[in-house]
């Protein structure tokens, strides 16, 4: 399964502490390697320098957690499973057809209802 990994750096200290933290992140990152059963398809950084995104793939969800765990003291992660489009679109198409049928049946019911006539009565 593919996953979208979003991360944001944890810069919560003073300017000097954040600079030291950034140097430590680079040191740890240079030694970091993803788990063997994790494939990284795309790795991009945010323009503001505060984090980034990666599209990964693995049949083992625990491998993705282990891959991100090594940098977790410095980076806050969010990991989203991303199903393949074909698998996801089938229920969406089915739901769309159900909505169309519901809409059509409602229109037919409204047309088939008898119209009420109101006659003026003398008071």
Q: Residue 47: which CATH number? A: 3.30.70.1060
Residue 7 in any domain: the answer is yes
Q: Is residue 97 part of a domain?
A: no
CB crowding 81-103: b at 16 or more within 10 Å, else e = eeeeeeeeeeeeeeeeeeeeeee
Residue 107 falls within a domain, yes or no? no
The secondary structure of residue 113, as a DSSP letter, is: S
- Whether 50 is covered by a domain: the verdict is yes
Query: By residue range, what is the domain housing residue 26?
Result: 2-82
The two beta strands, 2-9 and 39-45, are unpaired
In a domain, 105, yes or no: no
46 contacts 57 by C-beta, under 8 angstroms: no
For residue 96, being part of any structural domain is answered with no
Q: CB under 8 Å to 108, separation ≥6 — which residues?
A: none
Number of domains in the chain: 1
Local confidence pLDDT in tens for the 123 residues of the chain: 899 999 998 888 888 988 888 888 888 888 888 888 899 999 999 998 888 999 999 988 888 888 788 888 888 999 999 887 765 566 666 655 655 555 555 555 555 555 555 555 554
């Amino acid at each position: 399964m593919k996953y979208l990994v979003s991360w944001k750096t944890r810069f919560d200290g003073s300017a000097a502490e954040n600079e030291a933290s950034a140097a430590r992140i680079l040191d740890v990152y240079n030694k970091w390697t993803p788990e063997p059963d994790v494939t990284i398809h795309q790795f991009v950084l945010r323009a503001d320098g505060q984090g980034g995104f990666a599209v990964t793939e693995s049949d083992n969800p625990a491998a993705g957690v282990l891959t991100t765990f090594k940098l977790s003291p410095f980076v806050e992660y969010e990991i989203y499973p991303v199903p393949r489009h074909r698998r996801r679109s089938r229920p969406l198409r089915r739901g769309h057809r159900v909505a169309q049928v519901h809409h059509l049946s409602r229109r037919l019911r409204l047309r088939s209802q008898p119209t009420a006539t109101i006659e003026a009565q003398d008071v």
